[in-house]
Amino acid sequence: MSVSDLVVRFGSRPAVARLTFDAPHGQVTAIVGPNGAGKSTTVAACVGLVSGWTGRIALLGSSRDPSRPAPAAERARVGVMLQDGGLYPSARPRELVAYVASLHRDPLDPAALLDELGLDPSTRTPIRRLSGGEQQRVKCALALVGQPELAFLDEPTAGLDTEGRHAFHDLVRRLRDDGTSIVLTTHLMDDVERLADHVVVIAKGRGLRSGALDDLVGGEDCISFSGPLDADLAPLRAALPAGCEIVESRPGRYRATGASDPLALSAIASWTAQHGARSSSISVGRESLEDVVLDLVGRQP
């Protein structure tokens, strides 16, 4: 799936402003960003629930028409979990999931799916009397029961307890390994670190970064550190052991790759001391995704 130059306006206010990103086939893509960043609006545009947007949305090999709802053939291949409801309050979980399954050609077993998500499939409690986390599990089952090739999950882990989140993580990983492409939005960096292959960071409707999770936070052999903008790195490069590369990963933030030799850490420590950075700015191994996202979002005007 790919989105380019997407603009969605509600009235005069643009909720999404020239957003561009890819969600690679067969991977889990996480869209993260603060409240009101435009995550849900982006999902709604992708699944045909808002119209009148401009730009280009391509999924499963065809471009979406902004003036029409998604065509039937595409709806059968795309699963959707909405943030704002989508449930029949008087229905029971299993009968609702079974009904939606009956709309699909080759669905999963509704009872087994609910069970996998940690909800007793034999419960006769109407959905309106389930807890928020239980309703969340039903919504997730509705999105996935049709064995979609591409699933959009808007805040799938909101309100879930720890067991529920882990069950969800296991299910998403299994689906991804079976070839399903998944696009999810979340506020929990733990979800992203455990699940995502690809990350899109947005704020105020603009894309700040889109790339592989490893590119965003670095790998185990990385050392990240702060310094002045566009610093002259030549002296530091000369001091580092062979095989160690440095890039400015974001403005004022540098990353050394291939830096598993502790001598690299010592060279970097000396360099940051000369440039007035604090030792707490040095992070060995993967950076905290939360710090990276806060840093990116914080740079927004």
Partner 1 sequence: MRAWAHAGWEARLLLRNGEQLLLTFIIPVGLLLGLALTGLLPDAYGDDRLARSVATVLTVSVLSSAFTSLAIATGFERRSGALRFLATTPLGRVDLLAGKALATAAVTCLSTLAVLGTAAAIGWRPPAGAAWAVVPLLVGIASLAACGFALAGLMRAEAVLAVANGAFLVLLMFGGVIVPADSLPGPLGGIAPWLPSGALAASFTETLVDGVVPSAGPLVILLAWLSGAALLAARTFRWS
Q: How far is the CB of 63 from partner 1 (least distance, A)?
A: 18
List the one residue from 9, 18, 56, 104 that touches partner 1 (CB under 8 A): 104
Residue 189 sits at φ, ψ, to 5 deg, of -65, -25
Number of residues that bind partner 1 (CB under 8 A): 27
Q: Is 75 in the site for partner 1 (CB under 8 A)?
A: yes
List the one residue from 12, 90, 162, 279 that touches partner 1 (CB under 8 A): 90
Q: Is 206 in the site for partner 1 (CB under 8 A)?
A: no
Closest CA to 140 of 179, 177, 96: 96
Q: How far is the CB of 98 from partner 1 (least distance, A)?
A: 10
Q: Is 277 in the site for partner 1 (CB under 8 A)?
A: no
- Cβ nearer to partner 1, comparing 87 with 117: 87
Q: Is 88 in the site for partner 1 (CB under 8 A)?
A: yes
- Cβ nearer to partner 1, comparing 141 with 189: 141
Q: How far is the CB of 266 from partner 1 (least distance, A)?
A: 55
Q: Is 158 in the site for partner 1 (CB under 8 A)?
A: no
Long-range pairs for 215-221: beta carbons < 8 A, 24 or more residues apart: 216/289, 216/292, 217/193, 217/286, 217/287, 217/288, 217/289, 217/292, 218/249, 218/255, 218/257, 218/285, 218/286, 218/287, 219/257, 219/285, 219/286, 220/260, 220/285, 220/286, 221/257, 221/258, 221/259, 221/260
For 102, half-sphere exposure in the C-beta direction (CA atoms, 13 angstrom radius) is 6
Cβ pair 151, 81 in contact under 8 A: yes
Q: Is 69 in the site for partner 1 (CB under 8 A)?
A: yes
212 has which bridge partners? 198
- Interface with partner 1 (CB under 8 A): 47-49, 69-70, 72, 75-76, 78, 80, 82, 84-91, 95, 99-100, 102-104, 142, 146
